Amino acid sequence: MLRISLFGPPNRRIQPERYVQLGLKFFKLKKSIDKIIKIQYIVRYKEIIVENVVLYFSGTGNSLKVAKDISKELKNCEIVSMARPFNFVKQYDSIGFVYPTYFWGLPKKVIEFVENVNLGNNKNAYYYSITTYGGSAGNAIYQLYELLLNKHGVKLNYGQKLKMFSNYVITYDMSEKINEITKSSNEKLIPIINSIKMKKNNSLNKLTKMFKFINNDFIKKVSDMDKDFTVNNDCTGCGICEKVCPVKNIEMDDNKPQYKHHCEQCVACIQFCHKSQ
């Protein structure tokens, strides 16, 4: 019977030591391929699961615009309203808070949201906040810093105020320089978003007692401040005010708005009413 040696004639056979060397080389090669596959997997996994969320409260749209601009710049970024409770079921890479300054501090809705929210498995996320304001932001960033720290043991890494136009038409007229102010706030927002993308930290101004006192007083009274709202015969019953109220404080009854006394004074109903003067 003809026997064929796979290893060639005796003088050309591979020596056993050579097998060991080849085995080791193969083992090393396999290890580095495994490493590359693992890295690719981690990168793809991160691309899929790394998510960001911007929590916003807004009456007349300034803060919503800022929240939208941030979310466009961050990958996989959700925008969530703080007007309703939110469940943190996912793990986020960054969590932002965007809201207007009300009476040199936080809006009541933002305080309630932060006090009651369960941040889930997100204690190590990057936390930042932006408050939009018209004249002076007072404590509106530091108040959030204290709330997050005291209620959740979480540190606000970065906070910035962004001057936009003031919308509080109840106490004064809207500025005629709206376009000019909007242009300037758009420009100022670019470096702020870049800082957020780079996960920068900054130091925040401490609470000013007088501003704290004024904001506390506002928070106590705000829910019932809609008692001063009146609707005259010009009202067409269009229901726009009911739709734009972020906290569902308006219900239409016989084509006239009825205020339910959990108002935030966000002035959306006044700003968007086509009959308001």
Ligand X SMILES: Cc1cc2nc3c(=O)[nH]c(=O)nc-3n(C[C@H](O)[C@H](O)[C@H](O)COP(=O)(O)O)c2cc1C
CB of 106 or CB of 154, closer to ligand X:
106
Count of residues that bind ligand X according to CB under 6 A: 26
Q: In angstroms, give the least distance from the CB of 211 to ligand X.
A: 8
Collapsed DSSP state (helix, strand, coil) of residue 132: strand
- The only residue of 240, 251, 258, 261 in contact with ligand SF4, by rule CB under 6 A: 240
252's CB contacts (< 8 A; 6+ apart) are 237, 239, 242, 258
Sites for ligand SF4 among residues 118-177 (CB under 6 A): none
The stretch near ligand SF4 (CB under 6 A) out of 47-55, 72-80, 159-167, 242-250 is 242-250
Choosing among ligand SF4, ligand X, none, which partner's interface includes residue 168 (Cβ < 5 to 8 Å by kind)? ligand X
Our finding on whether 273 is near ligand SF4 (CB under 6 A) is yes
DSSP 171: T
- Residue 171 CA: distances (Å) to CA of 103, 117, 174, 237, 248: 12, 33, 10, 25, 23
Contact between 100 and ligand X per CB under 6 A: yes
Position 266 contacts ligand SF4 (CB under 6 A):
yes
How many other CB atoms sit within 10 Å of the CB of residue 176?
9
Token pair recorded at residue 74: 């961050």
The answer to whether 134 contacts ligand X (rule: CB under 6 A) is yes
Strand duo 256-259 + 250-253: pairing: antiparallel
Spell out, one character per residue from 40 to 79, where the chain touches ligand X: x when CB under 6 A holds, - when not. Answer: ------------------xxxxxxx---------------
Contact pick of 128, 257, 258, 261 for ligand SF4 (by CB under 6 A): 257
Rounded Cα distance between 19 and 219, Å, is: 80
Which partner, ligand SF4, ligand X, none, binds residue 239 by CB below 5 to 8 Å per kind? ligand SF4
Enter the tokens of residue 5: 């040696």
CA–CA distances in Å: residue 9 to residues 13, 20, 220: 6, 20, 98
CA distance 81 to 200: 24
Token code pair at residue 12: 């050309």
**Among 136, 202, 216, 236, interactor with ligand X by CB under 6 A:** 136
What's the closest the beta carbon of residue 259 comes to ligand X, in angstroms?
A: 15
Residues that bind ligand SF4 (CB under 6 A): 59, 226, 231, 235-241, 245, 247, 249-250, 257, 259, 263-269, 273, 275
